[in-house]
Amino acid sequence: MEKPMTGILRDHFPILAHNVYLNSCSYGALSHEVEAAFHSYLARRHEVGADWQGWMGLQEEVRALFARLIGAVPAEVAITTSASAGLDSFVSALAPQGSRNRIVVSDYEFPTVGQIWHAQERRGFEVVHVPEDEDGRIPFSRFEKAIDERTLAVSIAHVCYRHGAVNEIERIVRLAHANGAIVVLDAYQGLGQLPIDVHALDIDVLIGGALKYLLSSAGLGFLFVRKELIERFSPFVTGWFAQRDIAAMNIYAHDPAGDARRFETGTPPVPNLYAGKAGLELVLEVGIERIAAAIATLTARLKEGADELGARLATPKDPARHGAMIAIRSRDDQALVERLAERGIITSCRDGNLRVSPHFYNTEADIERLLVALADHRDLLA
């Protein structure tokens, strides 16, 4: 079989000319397209000052792009300034229903997710954690033990930000629904690198943002809520952009929109919408399936090379259980990131692991350069 192409659109990303950039799990590389988008926002400010009409149209374009990315319709998507803001808004609309007051949270969650759920304890929620093993796996039986008729919501990450392991979404969703609970998926670490279809997977709520594999900007996120659920939830965290008619300017009432816009709050992050559109268009133009295939070629070589070095992975080896991020155990992860950076290799670390996260613009040569550098710093591998 022919190997999928890697190094796609490399010359669109100036940083690649002088660095081996393997840090898309933290912040995607800046493209000429996204840079130009920021400039066009500034140009518009000089030309017309306040282009509210244009910006509202832009927000709808970005909403439609996020929807396309996850297989949703635009009316199911709220534009936010972060993934946290989307979750905060949704959670504010959730109330315990008698003894059904438990939120089951997997150990793969990003801190903001756990923190937001724990902040609800004084509103009568109980947070139950599903722990991971020493080797970073969460056996499905642990979800079976944690989820029951007291569970209101199950909160899972698609991909763990610490070591890149993927939660078994399909099985967890089936289990949650069989117990009458909704599923909140934090898709942030998977968006732009792994295919996802919210309706095929029967996801109820999803949060994400634009700065990682979506190649856009900080300050732009979104929240998906399944159509059938939207009108059941009326958030306390709200504002004028959540109203049915934003232009009504009615100080005497709160009339939330009938679609997912009801989860929005104030003025949208206009400059980031420019960047968001450019980044999302780039990703969708390359195509998620093609991106996933390119990444799989690179991670396969990385795992093989790491093995040859005797490095220990924190990420499961099975390609079905991880995406772009491969985490390598280190004695001193921060020092390793710094040593690599001195050689122009950009990575990041969490929880004692070096995180290596290629995207479609990386090549096999990037992986080889990393492996040579890791061999020189074997003393920092655990």
Nearer to ligand PLP, 288 or 374 (CB): 288
Please pick, from the candidates 28, 164, 192, 209, the single residue that binds ligand PLP as defined by CB under 6 A.
209
The partner residues of 330 in beta bridges, in order of sequence, read 381
Size of the site for ligand PLP (CB under 6 A): 12
Which backbone phi and psi does 206 adopt, to 5 degrees?
-140, 140
348 near ligand PLP, rule: CB under 6 A: no
Nearer to ligand PLP, 192 or 209 (CB): 209
112 near ligand PLP, rule: CB under 6 A: yes
Only one of the segments 82-90, 144-152, 258-266, 275-283 lies at the binding site for ligand PLP (rule: CB under 6 A); that segment is 82-90
Q: How many residues does the chain have?
A: 382
110 near ligand PLP, rule: CB under 6 A: yes
* Beta strands 20-21 and 151-157, pairing class: unpaired
DSSP labels, 144-156: HHH-STTEEEEEE
Please pick, from the candidates 23, 82, 92, 348, the single residue that binds ligand PLP as defined by CB under 6 A.
82
83 near ligand PLP, rule: CB under 6 A: yes
Please pick, from the candidates 188, 224, 241, 263, the single residue that binds ligand PLP as defined by CB under 6 A.
188
Only one of the segments 60-68, 70-78, 81-89, 319-327 lies at the binding site for ligand PLP (rule: CB under 6 A); that segment is 81-89
Please pick, from the candidates 31, 89, 120, 189, the single residue that binds ligand PLP as defined by CB under 6 A.
189
Nearer to ligand PLP, 155 or 363 (CB): 155
Nearer to ligand PLP, 79 or 374 (CB): 79
CB of residue 186 to ligand PLP, shortest distance in Å: 5
Nearer to ligand PLP, 186 or 333 (CB): 186
Under 8 Å between Cβ of 9 and 286: yes
Q: With 0-12 CB in 10 A as exposed, 13-18 as middle and 19+ as buried, what is 110? A: middle
161 near ligand PLP, rule: CB under 6 A: yes
d(CA 319, CA 285): 24
* Beta strands 348-350 and 353-356, pairing class: antiparallel
* Beta strands 205-209 and 182-186, pairing class: parallel
Closest C-alpha among 210, 206, 217 to residue 182: 206
Only one of the segments 143-151, 181-189, 266-274, 340-348 lies at the binding site for ligand PLP (rule: CB under 6 A); that segment is 181-189
157 near ligand PLP, rule: CB under 6 A: yes
CB of residue 62 to ligand PLP, shortest distance in Å: 15
**What tokens does 89 get?**
């808004």
223 near ligand PLP, rule: CB under 6 A: no
* Beta strands 102-106 and 151-157, pairing class: parallel
* Beta strands 221-225 and 77-80, pairing class: antiparallel
d(CA 3, CA 205): 36
Closest C-alpha among 293, 109, 282, 289 to residue 210: 282
224 near ligand PLP, rule: CB under 6 A: no
Closest C-alpha among 328, 79, 122 to residue 224: 79
Please pick, from the candidates 33, 76, 186, 259, the single residue that binds ligand PLP as defined by CB under 6 A.
186
CB of residue 53 to ligand PLP, shortest distance in Å: 28
**What tokens does 163 get?**
């070591």
CB of residue 161 to ligand PLP, shortest distance in Å: 4
Q: Give the binding site for ligand PLP (CB under 6 A).
A: 82-84, 110, 112, 157, 161, 186, 188-189, 209, 221
